[in-house]
Structure 1
Amino acid sequence: MDYAARTSIEVTGIGSMATRQILARLATQFERDTGCRAAITSVGGVEAARRVQAGEAFDFVVLASDAIDRLAADGCIDPGSRVDIARSHVAIAVAAGAPQPDVSSEDAVRNAILRAGRIGYSTGPSGTHLKRLFAHWGIDDAIASRIVQAPPGVPVATLITNGDVDLGFQQLSELMHVPGIDIVGPLPPAIQIVTVFSAATCRAMHERQATQQFLTFMASPHADSIKREHGMEPA
């Protein structure tokens, strides 16, 4: 693959926890193919956006597309460099070995939530979607005392394995391959939300050519199998 001349150049990026595993694998593959390193910091999405807005020295950022839109509106990224990387779905999990509720339909998920002890979700797009669902169903007040929102950067899977929640919702990519939990299934189609994760170069970028080459690689078919291995689909 001819994405970059073999070099000791290192590009730096920042992204949310939802893409942590995928970006790590893509960075490894890119270095193997080109010799160019990609060092990526993974934090909560809100924190990642704040750091880009503050002008920290990152070459690129990978976040949910709406967050990328806000960064573009603020002049923090180059909108012309933007590429869509992956599509992500929300899944439901319980502690390993715990009884698994029926989640095959919208009504089944609503009933599972009403019957659950503590319910966990994140500060990211999946959490925002869940809160809207609760309001739409008219159950937000009824379950308010049982809601546990994971702090930024803390996976919902950690809340489950620590016994802090009984039923957890988050991007499938963040729940996969985590010991101590069982994935019950995805949200059913009627209430599923698909989050598109996008990448763009930052205003504070230093390595323009190599950064653009890495973004091209992340959006290329060469990266598709890695995305699928970690619960996402190519964008």
Structure 2
Amino acid sequence: MRTFSLAAGGILAVMMLSSTATAAELRVLAGGAMTAVWAGLKPKFEQTSGHKLDIFFGTTPNLIKEATSGKPFDVGVVPVEVMRDAGARSHFAAGPTLDIARVGLGVAVRAGAPKPNISTPDTLKAALLQAESVASIPESATGYSIARVFERLGITEQMKAKMKAQPTPAEVVAVVAKGEAELALFLMNVLTVPGLDVVGPFPADLQQDVVFTAALGAGTKEAAAAKALVDYLKTPDAISVIKSKGMTPG
């Protein structure tokens, strides 16, 4: 029995060493609007896989800059606009990308503040023109989508003077929560937080989803672990986290 126990212990030790040897640290490029999603996904994936994640969050321009900087990365889960930049796309593995999550545009005000009517394109236009200031991130996938809405409404020039540009989604929330800007225009999942009251999504005729898509880094040396992460993002466990954070899977 003692011999069997020693043998079993030896096998277990080998298995543990093997698991440690195959564990990888993956550098991930991720859209900043998915910060809350990754806060839920990261510990779950690390616990089940043994791999560790080092996540770089950024806006579309930041992610393009990071992807083309020469710094190694293993996986990107980024707005599709990043993949439309030829320079950035060349640093990801060839072939189709895999859509992971999407979310639409919305409007929020400081908690307790009056909510404007934005139920139709005309009422949204009126609310935007009446607002003294709006907070968003013009240089981001979300900002590009909002700019297209302004263009369709014919208010591009008027909104330039009202825009209070912010560097991160958290800052968009903060300036409106503190009353430093009247409206927050951003992704619905980011706006659904304490300190803000969501007015609602953009009208259906104007709504544009921002889509986050995944691909391996072209130069990854941890292809098996990187693929395991991308595969994990399509599991029921990951889908449940994505839904719980106000995003639609796929």
Mark yes or no: TM-score above 0.5.
yes
Cα RMSD (Å) of the superposition? Answer: 2.0
Q: Is residue 85–residue 218 contact of structure 1 (8 Å, CA) maintained in 2?
A: yes
Structure-2 separation of matches of 1:86 and 1:181: 23
Q: Could you tell me which residue of structure 2 aligns to residue 51 of structure 1?
A: 66
% same residue:
27
- SS of 1:107's partner is helix
Structure-2 separation of matches of 1:75 and 1:132: 27
Structure-1 separation of matches of 2:234 and 2:86: 20
Q: Could you tell me which residue of structure 2 aligns to residue 198 of structure 1?
A: 213
Structure-2 separation of matches of 1:128 and 1:227: 23
Change (3 A) 1:88 1:153: closer
Structure-1 separation of matches of 2:101 and 2:216: 17
Unaligned runs of 5+ in 1: none
Deviation at 1:37, TM superposition (A): 1.9
Structure-2 separation of matches of 1:82 and 1:142: 37
Structure-2 separation of matches of 1:43 and 1:73: 14
Unaligned runs of 5+ in 2: 1-17
Aligned partner of 2:240: which letter?
S
Q: Does 1:162 align with 2:178?
A: yes
- SS of 2:84's partner is helix
User: Could you tell me which of 188, 202, 222 is aligned with 1:207?
Assistant: 222
Change (3 A) 1:14 1:173: same
Change (3 A) 1:184 1:198: same
- SS of 2:161's partner is helix
Aligned partner of 2:42: which letter?
A
Deviation at 1:141, TM superposition (A): 2.5
Deviation at 1:222, TM superposition (A): 2.9
Q: Could you tell me which residue of structure 2 aligns to residue 126 of structure 1?
A: 142
Residues 159-215 of structure 1: CA distance to partner in whole angstroms, max 9, x if unpaired? 2123331011111222223x2111111112111101210011112312110011001
User: Could you tell me which of 133, 147, 153 is aligned with 2:163?
Assistant: 147
Change (3 A) 1:42 1:175: same
Q: Does 1:38 align with 2:80?
A: no
Larger of the two Rg values belongs to structure: 2
Residues 122-176 of structure 1: CA distance to partner in whole angstroms, max 9, x if unpaired? 1222211222222222222233321222235654112212333101111122222
Structure-2 separation of matches of 1:22 and 1:14: 14
Q: Could you tell me which residue of structure 2 aligns to residue 83 of structure 1?
A: 98
Tell me how many residue pairs correspond in the alignment. 230
Structure-2 separation of matches of 1:205 and 1:190: 41
Q: Is residue 49–residue 71 contact of structure 1 (8 Å, CA) maintained in 2?
A: no
Structure-2 separation of matches of 1:71 and 1:28: 33
Higher RCO by CA contacts (8 Å cutoff, separation 6 or greater): 1
Q: TM-score, normalization: structure 1?
A: 0.89
- SS of 1:27's partner is helix
Change (3 A) 1:195 1:210: same
Q: Could you tell me which residue of structure 2 aligns to residue 103 of structure 1?
A: 118
- SS of 1:76's partner is coil
Structure-2 separation of matches of 1:175 and 1:211: 30
